Structure 1
Amino acid sequence: MRAWRVHQYGRPSEALRLDEIDEPVPEAGKIRVAPTRTVLNFNEIDGCHGRYRTVNPDLPYTLGMEVLGTVDAVGEGAEEWLGRRVHATAESAFGGYADKVICQPDMVFDAPESLDDTEAAAFFFPFHLSWLGLHERGQVQPGEWVLIHAAAGGVGSAAVQLAVDAEARVIGTAGSEDKCEFVRSLGAEAAVNYRDGDFATEVRDITGGAGVDLVFDGVGGEVTEASLRCMTRGGRLMIIGFASKIEAEDAVGLPPRLLCFSQVSIGGVLLAYSSNPAVYGGMAGFNINPRSLGDRIHEELCERLAEGRIAPLVGGTVPFEELPAALEQMEDRLTTGRIVVVC
């Protein structure tokens, strides 16, 4: 089978080779998906550069986290999944850029029948992560000001839709005027071009000096620190990723003085589910969500999808053979929405 594998670190076109490797066989309790689509993620760019410590297997390895396809083989105990069209996360969050992908059922969900393969591929990660950040952890309320960073991206655009659906007042940041217009078209009350200067000052002006109640931060680094300067007392800052610079994952924390003076709460958000109660807490700071929560979130999202309140946003499609070039376009901040790969 074909697989895009990282052989050396560098830009995706330098790091990746399209190899022929043996098809994997699912062990007991696991499933195998034959993808029709996969999706690009910033974490995979970091994987090409060898700077993503969370997913850092030995070279060479098959890149890719997400797939959309049909379950074509199962291990003992997973028979119920055979033949179903699913969103799935590759086991251990790598191995997805291949013709056959092994997955753990805890990170597999039925794809909505109303969506074609391309739309369905763009649905799972952005909306689950956004729900976790806005509703489960962020506790968004109607009428609150919500600041969403990287709002034109795959996750950010989903977060804008869910925040608008929650009747919040949404401000999005993006890196160009065209992207800002795109964010406004999703229902955001305002959009700020972060390349024009200090977004925190503009956000404070938009809110009449009050600041925002909730920040959905998938950028990290300096953006996180600046966000504290435009939040209201008692606000909540949800850290969901580090698109600006993955090294911020392990950087020294925020200035204590700023934390004291801002009087806000900071929370982390992780998209990971498990049916094993032993891993819900107590894993030395690595707490996974119960699968039952994932099922409830998926049901909530599918209801909103069916009612036309949210929709996956596909920024473009690319052939499987052109995957490295597409990753480089994302790395250069030239994309909006989700970029779906046709397998």
Structure 2
Amino acid sequence: MRAVLCKEHGPPESLVTEDVASPAVGENEVRIGIHACGVNFPDTLIIQGKYQIQPDLPFSPGSEVAGEVLEVGAGVTSVKVGDPVMSLTGWGGFAEEVVIGADRVLPMPSTMDYVTGSGFPMVYGTSYHALKQRANLAAGETLLVLGASGGVGLAAVELGKAMGARVIAAASSDAKLEVAREHGADELVNYSEGSLKDKVKELTGGKGADVIYDPVGGEACEQALRCINWNGRLLIIGFASGTIPKIPANLPLLKGSSVVGVFWGDFVRRQPQDNATNFQELFAMHAEGKLKPHVWKTFPLDQAADALNGLLSREATGKIVLTTGRS
């Protein structure tokens, strides 16, 4: 099978595509013939040795895939050969096949194709866990989403609307904000023009946002915290800006607000039943047309570097997906 390999830590250009042996299937494992693989910001970190999880070299990046079951190991009853499925792999997804534990494989809803399915779990799983379990977002509250045109940000915009919130989308350009508007944002803030804090205060009658979803970090994080409402919740999703902010501790004190960490990967491991319930609800929302995943571009497997650079350049809106050409 073909696979994109990280043989030494470095930029996307250091990746190579080679023929490698297909891994064997063990007990309670599933072999998936990959049709598509979602590309995510952690993929850009893991190949540089900057992610909190580091597989042994060489490895293939790629943490979420969609495809068909080619083989099942002893003890697997949840799926069968030929089933369309999606899976959270951690790594190994930039390849034509992957072997993964059956407990990490989900039957793919009939409402999704493989490209949609490959880009769904990470962004919607993260954003729904953040808004539901970590923020307890309630109908009628105001949700401010930073990086609102990116993968997780756009998912948060859609989910916020589906949960009954008023959504303020913030991004770095009018073109990106237009994408957020098309996916349900009520108000738009271009934070490359003027003060984010002042604009959000103006839109909320001086109160500020009840929940702030921040996958960006950097200076935008502190600016957002300065426009949070009393008893507000700031969700720390990630640091796409490349800078981990140092938050002045007096800011949450003055607003009686909370700074809440969101680590969806460990939530999946520690609370698998809650995660399974989340996905049943997400699939239902997708079937009802409330969630409309936005794929910016697809790339063939041997253009993985171009796909990753689309994220690093912050050019992409929504999801980027690699395809293997499997029919």
Report the TM range for the smaller structure's normalisation: over 0.9
> In the alignment, is the contact (CA less than 8 A) between 2:27 and 2:74 conserved in 1?
yes
Distance in 2 (CA, whole Å) between partners of 1:23 and 1:311 is 34
Identity within the alignment, %: 34
Structure 2 residue aligned with 1:77: 75
Stretches of structure 2 that go unaligned for 5 or more consecutive residues are none
Stretches of structure 1 that go unaligned for 5 or more consecutive residues are 274-279, 281-286
1:233 to 217, 230, 233: 230
Structure 1 residue aligned with 2:12: 12
Counterpart code for 1:86: V
> In the alignment, is the contact (CA less than 8 A) between 1:55 and 1:94 conserved in 2?
no
Counterpart code for 2:300: P
1:324 to 282, 305, 309: 305
Q: Offset of 1:41 from its aligned partner? A: 0.6
Deviations 1:231-290 (A, max 9, x none): 011001122222222x63xx7x532222322321122222237xxxxxx8xxxxxx9442
Give 3-state SS (helix, strand or coil) of 2:226's partner. Answer: helix
2:278 to 297, 301, 312: 297
Q: Offset of 1:79 from its aligned partner? A: 4.0
Give 3-state SS (helix, strand or coil) of 2:153's partner. Answer: helix
Distance in 1 (CA, whole Å) between partners of 2:71 and 2:238 is 33
After superposition, where does 1:91-130 map in structure 2 within 5 Å?
93-130=90-127
Structure 1 residue aligned with 2:204: 207
Distance in 2 (CA, whole Å) between partners of 1:60 and 1:46 is 15
Deviations 1:156-196 (A, max 9, x none): 11111111112211011112110111111222111212222
Aligned length: 323
Counterpart code for 2:158: Q
Deviations 1:112-159 (A, max 9, x none): 101111122222222111110111221111111101111111111111
> In the alignment, is the contact (CA less than 8 A) between 1:149 and 1:218 conserved in 2?
yes
> In the alignment, is the contact (CA less than 8 A) between 2:88 and 2:121 conserved in 1?
no
Distance in 1 (CA, whole Å) between partners of 2:87 and 2:41 is 17
Deviations 1:74-119 (A, max 9, x none): 23222432322111011xx111111111223333211110111112
Counterpart code for 2:261: G
> Are residues 12 and 136 of structure 1, via their aligned partners in 2, closer, same or farther at CA, if it must alter by over 3 Å?
same
Structure 2 residue aligned with 1:86: 85
Distance in 2 (CA, whole Å) between partners of 1:303 and 1:20 is 39
Counterpart code for 2:272: R
Structure 1 residue aligned with 2:31: 32
Counterpart code for 2:4: W
- Moved runs in structure 1, 4+ residues, more than 6 A? none
> In the alignment, is the contact (CA less than 8 A) between 2:252 and 2:259 conserved in 1?
no
> In the alignment, is the contact (CA less than 8 A) between 2:145 and 2:156 conserved in 1?
yes
After superposition, where does 1:1-343 map in structure 2 within 5 Å?
1-13=1-13, 15-52=14-51, 54-83=52-81, 84-90=83-89, 93-245=90-242, 248=244, 254-272=247-265, 288-343=269-324
> In the alignment, is the contact (CA less than 8 A) between 2:31 and 2:99 conserved in 1?
yes
Distance in 1 (CA, whole Å) between partners of 2:215 and 2:193 is 19
Give 3-state SS (helix, strand or coil) of 1:106's partner. Answer: helix
> What RMSD over aligned residues (CA atoms) do the two structures have, in Å?
1.9
